[in-house]
Amino acid sequence: MRIAVTGATGNTGAAVTGRHHVLAITRDPQGKAAQQLAELPGVVPVTLEDAFTEPVDRIYLASAVTRDQFLVETDVIIAARKAGVEYIVKLSTVDAWMEVYSDIFYARSHLAVECFLERGDIPFTCLRANLFHTSVGIDLDAVPKTNQFRTFLHGASVATIDPDDVGRAAAALLSLEDPSRHYSKKYMLTGPEDVNDQSIGEALREVLQADVTFGGTLTVDEFTKATGSPINPKSLLPPITFLRQGKGDRAHAVASPEMLALAPPKGTFKEFITQYYAKN
């Protein structure tokens, strides 16, 4: 089976590998992240132009948060259809944000792509993932130096998810011999626990064996700079407000039972930062 993975060097794409021949679609197949993927058995980094020169069976669709996301993803879908793709798993965003008049621009982009898929003839499944662990810990490099942490989530409690768990969920669907029971379904993915100021501090103190304290809230400008996002920082204010209203925790962002049975997310925030500091 040939599986194409868009956003292969991004947050979730790297985890979508397995027993099959995987085409890892990336803007720079010669880049460091792409070459690391190339070391994995059966993984070949390619550009979008080269990905569909031969038949492809299934595809994982994920892209960066940009204003042209709809154009990027629908271009991939059209190319995939011409290549005979039989099944698409698309990464989307939080269930509650997916409204026509949502203030969150990238939620509108995701909704538009989902509608595009619904009007088409390629079977698909959408994974609506909660906020990633990576959006909590973007100041992790500074913590050992200052013994303080600054967080995007100050005042909120959110069931954040390890991006690798999202990738594994996509891989589980793409690897099914018969995924038809999941066609046209939209599944919510959340982490195994709620993450907040207290739990972040406790995890950092235990992992670093240091007296780590809260050092302030990350502003939207700092968040976009740290993530390298080209989007207007003000565009992030609506999701921040939503999360601080308590709507991103496990009581409100309820994980879909189908995915809990197929590929339950297990990675805690503590495990995430343990792995992060082991690599850095």
**What is the band of 33 on the pLDDT scale with cuts at 50, 70, 90?**
low
Burial (CB count within 10 angstroms: exposed 0-12, middle 13-18, buried 19+), residue 135: buried
d(CA 39, CA 96): 38
**What is the band of 123 on the pLDDT scale with cuts at 50, 70, 90?**
very high
Average pLDDT for residues 2-10, to the nearest whole number? 75
Which structural domain, as residue segments, surrounds residue 141? 3-279
Average pLDDT for residues 56-61, to the nearest whole number? 92
d(CA 17, CA 238): 34
Question: For residue 22, what are the β-bridge partners?
Answer: 3, 43
> What's the pLDDT tens digit per position in 145-171?
999 998 878 889 999 999 999 999 999
Residue 49: the pLDDT is: 80
Question: For residue 109, what are the β-bridge partners?
Answer: none
Which residues, 6+ apart, have CB-to-CB distance to 224 below 8 Å? Answer: 231, 233, 236
d(CA 174, CA 125): 10
CATH number, domain with residue 114: 3.40.50.720
Residue 75: the pLDDT is: 93
Residue 85: the pLDDT is: 95
Is pLDDT above 80 for 3?
yes
Structure tokens at 204: 């950092």
Average pLDDT for residues 87-106, to the nearest whole number? 92
> What's the pLDDT tens digit per position in 184-197?
999 999 999 999 99
**What is the band of 59 on the pLDDT scale with cuts at 50, 70, 90?**
very high
Average pLDDT for residues 193-220, to the nearest whole number? 93
- Counting the structural domains of the chain, the total is 1
pTM given for the model: 0.90
